[in-house]
């Protein structure tokens, strides 16, 4: 590890590796990737029953266009026009780059890349390599980075972005083994640390994913739409989304109280309608206030059972109530789907084996046998649609600080499934292109002071657990404004007194303490955005505020929530750009080097 680089990339997921790979190809070679654990993170360690990559349609006879895809992304609400247009325009280029790197997206013998519809998708732009698409992407990009001998600095938790005025000068890192603090000078930082995974107790983010949004908060740059999340039903012992065929095979939902008494609570609440709602939960996995009288009522009922102190499970071994008289009781949509899948028979596990045997193997590989045991579940945070506010080059207000992937705030209220994977590639490429065009020598850090964590009786885990539990109680999809305000006051107080009250047992635990500091900074910002949104917008998207009905939507959200530190405000989003498209004009610009 040197003490100075031109550009540092933080994170070893899809966005981080792509940023490094693209910078190298663009001629920026004095770079390094910094990570607290090379094999950690969401990209490498998460997925779903069929993890989706969202891109421009590349098969069949149905029409599509960059502008049409951009309009789809923009129509989710709360989206900046320039981000929607960039993510649409670059999607085919980024997708084909992954194909060239060996990511096994399915194609026919003529080279058409098959597509299917995903959520909030009017066309068939989605594609997939199966449950582990982002893992395959990460590994392919990593191979390319390794082949170029790009330096990877492992076991270093970045704890502060250093700056001089309005520009980046470097980073301070804590060694995750020794706790030693190291300062590295650089001209640019590309923050690719994923979403703020550590702020909730009920979360489907992998345990290896912590997030580092607090770095941007402390650096003084604004965040965008931090109240906008996706939540859905997931397993808790092994963290995994239970969408798609996990629901479409119609498992039994079981609540177990402290005495061990089982109850099929969905049937008790919904009767025969529960079967249709379970089936739809496969398509409509994220909680959505527009569906609280449909599939999203399941999320509310699951959460209510857990708040009563009961444990909730999916049972794939037995059919749910309502199927006693056969499959003819199903809705037409559910019946037709199972019929076309040749799965109108048997138990949920037998149907799952017929339709998606890999879904069973996945759990078996993690020590859970769906053929013989219940699967414990909760409604979990899965993706943050907000993040650090960036411009059309994915640069923040701080010159030299770029953010890509889930850490960037380019998503809005709703987004097509799989658009996050596309965004990892587009954002990191846009950042790399901008850095390559504005190359210069690294700056020397002027402020390298990092507060020390005091030695004593370690209280890091106690504080973390309490805050995560309270966050899941009052500030997940079912939000309590009064409770959020109390928790905000608590996080604000801890932020101001952190280095006085937090203790570690030994110096080697320094990095863990700074993870807690980052979590508190992020929770404080998220709560500020949630409270602002609750008071100005109310229930919408994934947020059911104080159990109030959502306002009638006349169209997509045309504003976004901006948070700086702990202060939030509502501002309009930018319009969709209408840039020059006349070929001769663009050619002349290129020849002039514009």
> What's the sign of the alpha-carbon dihedral 160, 163, 165, 166?
negative
Structure tokens at 573: 């989003």
The CA R_g of the chain, rounded to the nearest whole Å, is: 24
DSSP string, 88-147: HHTHHHHHHHHHHTT----B-TTS-B--B--TT-SS--EEESSTTHHHHHHHHHHHHHHH
Token pair listed for 496 = 């101001």
Q: How far apart are the first and last CA of the chain?
A: 36
Residues with Cβ within 8 Å of residue 470, at least 6 apart in sequence: 483, 487, 490
Angle at 410 between CA 409 and CA 416, to 5 degrees: 125
CA quadruple 268, 270, 275, 281: dihedral positive or negative? negative
| Fold entry, domain 231-381 | Flavocytochrome C3; Chain A, domain 1 (3.90.700)
Supply 501's token pair: 């009250």
Helices vs strands, H then E, count in the chain: 19, 23
For the chain, domain boundaries: 231-381, 452-572
| Range list of β-strands (E), 359-499 | 375-384, 387-388, 401-403, 454-455, 478-479
Q: Which pLDDT does position 446 carry in this prediction?
A: 66
Residues 6+ apart with CB under 8 A from 373: none
Give φ, ψ of 240 to 5 degrees: -160, 140
Closest CA to 432 of 5, 12, 2, 28: 28
Q: What is the pLDDT along the chain (594 residues), one digit of tens a residue?
A: 889 999 999 999 999 999 999 999 999 999 999 999 999 999 999 888 789 999 999 999 988 999 999 999 999 999 999 999 999 999 999 999 999 999 999 999 999 999 988 888 999 999 999 889 999 999 999 999 999 999 999 999 999 999 999 999 999 999 999 999 999 999 999 999 999 999 999 999 999 999 999 999 999 999 999 999 999 999 999 999 999 899 999 999 999 999 999 999 999 999 999 999 999 999 899 999 999 999 999 999 999 999 999 999 999 999 999 999 899 999 999 999 999 999 999 999 999 999 999 899 999 999 999 999 999 999 999 999 999 999 999 999 999 999 999 999 999 999 999 999 999 999 999 999 999 998 777 677 766 678 999 999 999 999 999 999 999 999 999 999 999 999 999 999 999 999 999 999 999 999 999 999 999 999 999 999 999 999 999 999 999 999 998 877 678 899 999 999 999 999 999 999 999 999 999 999 999 887
Q: Return the SS3 of 79.
A: coil
Q: How far apart are CA 522 and CA 524, in angstroms?
A: 5
- Full DSSP string of 254-302: EEE-TT--EE-HHHHHHTTHHHHHHHHHHH--S--GGGTTTTTHHHHHH
Closest CA relative to residue 98, chosen from 39, 144, 40: 144
161, 189 in Cβ contact below 8 A?
yes
User: Which residues does 490 contact at the CB level (< 8 Å), separation at least 6?
Assistant: 467, 470
pTM: 0.95
Q: Which residues contact 338 (CB under 8 A, 6 or more apart)?
A: 248, 327, 330, 344, 351
Asked: is 452-572 a CATH 3.30.70.20 domain? The reply is no
């Amino acid at each position: 590890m040197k003490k100075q680089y031109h550009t540092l990339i933080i994170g070893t997921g899809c966005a981080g590796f792509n940023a490094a790979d693209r910078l190298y190809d663009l001629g920026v070679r004095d770079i390094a990737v910094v990570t607290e654990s090379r094999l950690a993170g969401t990209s490498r360690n998460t997925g779903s029953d069929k993890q989706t990559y969202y891109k421009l349609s590349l098969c069949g006879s149905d029409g599509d266009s960059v502008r049409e895809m951009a309009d789809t992304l923009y129509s989710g609400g709360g989206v900046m026009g320039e981000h929607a247009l960039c993510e649409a325009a670059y999607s085919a280029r980024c997708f084909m780059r992954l194909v060239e790197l060996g990511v096994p997206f399915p194609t026919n013998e003529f080279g058409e890349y098959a597509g299917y519809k995903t959520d909030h998708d009017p066309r068939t732009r989605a594609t997939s390599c199966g449950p582990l698409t982002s893992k395959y992407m990460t590994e392919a990009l990593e191979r390319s980075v390794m082949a170029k001998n790009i330096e990877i600095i492992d076991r270093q938790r970045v704890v502060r972005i250093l700056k001089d005025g309005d520009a980046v000068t470097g980073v301070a890192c804590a060694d995750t083994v020794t706790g030693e603090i190291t300062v590295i000078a650089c001209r640019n930082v590309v923050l690719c640390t994923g979403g703020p995974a550590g702020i909730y107790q009920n979360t489907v983010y992998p345990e290896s994913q912590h997030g580092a949004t607090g770095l941007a908060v402390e650096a003084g740059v604004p965040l965008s739409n931090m109240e906008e999340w996706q939540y859905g039903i997931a397993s808790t012992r092994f963290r995994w989304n239970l969408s798609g065929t996990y629901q479409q095979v119609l498992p039994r939902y079981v609540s177990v109280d402290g005495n061990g008494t089982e109850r099929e609570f969905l049937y008790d609440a919904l009767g025969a309608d529960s079967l249709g709602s379970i089936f739809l939960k496969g398509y409509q996995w994220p909680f959505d206030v527009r569906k609280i009288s449909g599939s999203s009522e399941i999320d509310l009922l699951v959460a209510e059972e857990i708040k009563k102190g009961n444990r909730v499970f999916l049972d794939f071994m037995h059919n749910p109530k309502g199927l006693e008289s056969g499959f003819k009781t199903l809705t037409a949509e559910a019946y037709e789907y199972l019929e076309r899948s040749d799965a109108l028979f048997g138990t949920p596990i037998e149907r799952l084996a017929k339709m998606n045997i890999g879904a069973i193997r996945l759990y078996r590989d993690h020590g859970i046998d769906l053929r013989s045991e219940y699967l414990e579940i909760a409604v979990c945070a899965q993706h943050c649609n907000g993040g650090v506010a960036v411009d059309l080059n994915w640069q923040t207000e701080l010159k030299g600080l770029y953010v890509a992937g889930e850490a960037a705030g380019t998503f809005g209220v709703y987004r097509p499934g799989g658009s996050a994977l596309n965004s990892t590639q587009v954002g990191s490429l846009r950042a790399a292109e901008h850095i390559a065009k504005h190359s210069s020598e690294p700056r020397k850090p002027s402020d390298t002071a990092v507060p020390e964590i005091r030695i004593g009786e370690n209280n890091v885990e106690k504080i973390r657990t309490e805050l995560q539990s309270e966050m899941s109680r009052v500030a997940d999809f079912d939000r309590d404004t009064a409770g959020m305000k109390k928790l905000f006051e608590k996080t604000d107080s801890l932020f101001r007194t952190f280095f006085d009250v937090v203790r570690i047992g030994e110096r080697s635990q320094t990095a863990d303490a700074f993870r807690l500091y980052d979590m508190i900074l992020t929770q404080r910002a998220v709560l500020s955005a949630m409270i602002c949104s609750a008071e100005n917008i109310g229930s919408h998207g994934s947020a059911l505020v104080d159990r109030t009905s959502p306002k009638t939507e006349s169209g997509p959200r045309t504003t976004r929530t901006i948070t700086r530190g702990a202060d939030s405000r509502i501002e309009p989003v930018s319009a969709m750009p209408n840039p020059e498209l006349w070929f001769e004009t663009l050619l002349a610009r290129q020849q002039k080097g514009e």
